[in-house]
Chains A and B, each alone.
Chain A
Amino acid sequence: MLQMTNIGKTFLTGQVQTKALDQINLEVDEGEFVTITGPSGCGKTTFLNIAGLLENATAGQYLLDGEDVSRLGDRQRAKLRNQKIGFIFQSFNLMPDLNLFDNVDVPLRYRGLGRGERHQRIEEALTNVGLWSRRKHLPAQLSGGQQQRVAIARALAGSPRFLLADEPTGNLDSKTAAGVMSLLHEINAKGTTIIMVTHDPVLAQNSRRNIDILDGQIRDDARRNTAAVA
C-alpha cells in the first residue's frame, strides 16, 4: 500500500545542508500497525510529514496504492491527504472555537460531501469513540484523552486508507494513553493501517512492527508475530 524507495530529505539553512532523511526504503502493507521510533531529531517527524504528503521528499520515489506521489502538486496532495490519510497529532490539533461535531466535519467539508452523508459519518465516528452525546461541546470542555478521541474520530470519519499518528499519547497520562492505544488497536483490528511515531519504548515493543530511525536512516525494522495491547 505504501512503498518508499531511496527517499531522502535535505533542508537548506543558509549555506548549510542538513540531511533529515537518507536512503529510506520501506514497504507497509494493508492492515499493518507500524511504530516509528528513534531519538529526538532523528527524522521521525520528517518521515511522517513525507508519508502524510505534508511535505515532499527531495530524493527517491514514494508510491501510495501504486501511484507515484513523489512529485505531485499541492492541490493533488491536498486531495490525497483528504481522501486517503487520517492524521492524529500529539497536541490533538482540534479547532478550539468549533464544537466536536464541527471539528469532525472539517475534512468532510473539504471533500465536498453532502450534508446528509457528512452527518451520518460524523455520528458514526463520534459514536465509535463514545463522544456523540457531547457533540455540542467545545474541545476545552473535554479532558486530554477525550480530545484525542475526537481527533481520532476526525481522522476516521473520512474512511482513510491509513492513519498517521504523531506521538498520539505524548500529552496524556499513562491511564488515558492506554485507553487511546486500546482504541487505536481496535481500529487496526478492523483493518485500518496505522503508522505511529512514538518515543515510548513500551508501545514500540508491543507493536507487530517497529522501525527504528537514527540520523535519518532506518537502523532496524523489527517484525513480531503478536502484539499486545498496551
Chain B
Amino acid sequence: MEFGPILRSLLRNKTGALLIALQIMVTLTVIVNAIYIIQERSQHMTKPSGLDEANITHILSIGYGESFNAEATTDNDLRVLRGMTGVADATVINAIPVSSSGSSNGYMVEPGRLELAVMAAQYRSDDHAISTMGLELIAGENFSPNEIVRHEPGTARTDTSVIVTRAMAEALYPDDAAETTIGRIFYAADDTALQIKGIVERLQVPWPSADFAENSVIYPEIELDGGNYYLVRHEPGYRDENLPRVEETLAAQNDTRVLRENQTFEQTRTITFIPDNAMTSILSIVVSILMFITGLGIVGLAVFTINRRRRQIGTRRALGAGHIQILRYFLVENFVISTVGVIFGAIMTVALNMFLVNNFDLAPLQWYFVPAGMAVLLVLGQLAVVGPAWRASRMSPATATRNI
C-alpha cells in the first residue's frame, strides 16, 4: 500500500485536493442535517393518530342568524348522521386531530402548580367519541349519555370526569402504569378538578409537530357556540360514497348555517402536511443535487489529475505496476482526500445541528447520522473515482516513452 507516498504527494500538491475535501465537507454538513430534518418531518407525517383514518370524514357546520338554534341543530344533525346508510357512528367535537387547529391547556396533579403543568390538547365531545374515532379504550369506562354537558359560551367550567390518552396519564403520573391511574384527580390550569374515567391507547393532538403530540384530554361536553365539527365513521367501503351525501343531508336539515371542510381524514392529513411535504421535497432535491455535484467534482478532479499525470502513470506501469496497483493508487488517493473532507464535515455537521437546535427548535441530531453520512460520502467518492481510475489503469506502459 502506498499510503505514505500518496499522502506526502497530496501535501505537496494541495489545491485541487483541498477544494474537493472542502466540497465533501460542505456536502456532508448539508446532507446530514437535511436528511435528519426530512426524517423528522416524515416521522411527524406518518405518526399514527389513533383514529380509524381510512373510514373517517369530517364536516364543519357554522350557524348564523338569530333563528339558529345550536342545541337543536346539533341534536338533529347527530340523529340524522347516525341514521345514514353506511355510517357506523358520528359525533360532535371541537377540533379535528392532526388538522393544525384546536385548543390546548396545561394540567397539573396538584392545583396551582402551573410550573409543573403538562400540556395537552383538549377535545370536547360526547359518549360517541371513542366509537366514532375508533379509539382503543385500554382502561376505565366510556362516558355515559347522561353525563354529557351542553356548554353554553361564557359559562364557567365545572369539575368533571375525563378520558385521557395513555401518554397523558404517563406524563401526569410518570411513576405509575397508565392503567392504574383510573379514578385519580388532576387539575386544569383554572384549577378545575378532573377525574380520570377512562384511558385510550392513542389520540393525537391537532398539531403533529408539538412535543406533546399524544397528550389528549376528552371532556364530556358539547359546545353550543354555533360552530361544530361532525366526525363521521363510515362502514368499510362507504366513505367515498357517503362523503357528498353527508353534506347534502346536513344542508337539507337547516338553511341557517354554512357547511365547510367536508373531507376525508386522508385529505385532512394531506392539507396539514403541505408545508412539510414541500420542505422534504425541496430538501431531497438539494441533497440529490449536492451529491451529484460532489460526485461530478470528484470525477472531474480524477480525470484532470489522470490527464496531467499520464506520463507518471505510464512510468509506474513501466516500473512494474499492474492494473490493480494503478486503480488502487487513485482509490487510496481519493480515500485520503475524502477522509479529510468527512472529518471536517462531521465537525461542521454537529456545529450546524447545534445552531439549528438553538435557533429553530429542532431536536438534536441522533449520533449515528454522522458516521452514516461519512460512510455514504466515502463510498460516493470511491464510486466517482473508480471509472477514471479504471481507465488510467488500462493505460499502456509504453506511454512512459512517448513525448506527451
Contact = CB atoms under 8 A, between A and B. Distances in A.
A74 B322 contact: yes
B139 interface: no
Interface string B306-337: 00000110011111111101000000000000
Interface stretch (A93-101, A121-129, A201-209, A221-229): A93-101
Interface residues of A, number: 32
A98 B320 CA distance: 18
Interface string A37-70: 0000000010011001111000000000000000
A89 B401 contact: yes
Nearest to A87: B318
B185 interface: no
Interface stretch (B7-15, B127-135, B365-373): B7-15
Interface of B: 2, 4-5, 8-9, 12-13, 311-312, 315-323, 325, 396-398, 400-401
Would you call the interface of chain A mostly helix, strand, loop, or mixed? helix
Interface of A: 45, 48-49, 52-55, 74-75, 78-79, 81-83, 87, 89, 91, 93, 95, 97-99, 102, 105-107, 109-111, 138, 154, 166
A54 B397 contact: yes
Nearest to A84: B320
B401 A78 contact: no
The 8 closest A-B CB pairs, nearest first, are: A82-B320, A97-B9, A110-B320, A107-B319, A54-B398, A93-B315, A54-B397, A78-B322
Contact of A79 (B320, B396, B401): B320
B394 to A, nearest CB: 9
Would you call the interface of chain B mostly helix, strand, loop, or mixed? helix
B398 A55 contact: yes
Nearest to B322: A78
A91 B153 CA distance: 96
A107 B322 CA distance: 11
Contacts of B322: 74-75, 78-79, 110
Contacts of B12: 97, 138
Given A54-B398, A78-B322, A83-B320, 19 more contacts: A49-B398, A49-B401, A54-B318, A55-B396, A55-B397, A81-B318, A81-B320, A81-B397, A82-B319, A87-B319, A89-B401, A98-B8, A102-B5, A106-B5, A106-B319, A109-B2, A110-B319, A154-B319, A166-B401
Contacts of A81: 318-320, 397
B311 A93 contact: yes
A89 B398 CA distance: 11
A45 B403 CA distance: 11
A162 B144 CA distance: 104
A54 B399 CA distance: 9
22 contacts: A49-B401, A52-B318, A55-B397, A75-B322, A75-B323, A78-B317, A78-B322, A78-B397, A81-B397, A87-B315, A87-B319, A91-B311, A93-B400, A95-B312, A97-B12, A102-B5, A106-B316, A106-B319, A107-B320, A109-B2, A111-B320, A166-B401
A142 to B, nearest CB: 15
A52 B317 CA distance: 12
A25 B403 CA distance: 27
Q: Among the interface residues B5, B312, B319, which one has the most CB atoms of the partner chain A within 10 A? A: B319
Contacts of B316: 106, 110
Contact of B321 (A91, A93, A110): A110
B10 to A, nearest CB: 8
Contacts of B319: 81-82, 87, 106-107, 110, 154
B9 to A, nearest CB: 4
Contacts of B8: 97-99, 102
Given A54-B398, A87-B400, A98 B9 contact: yes
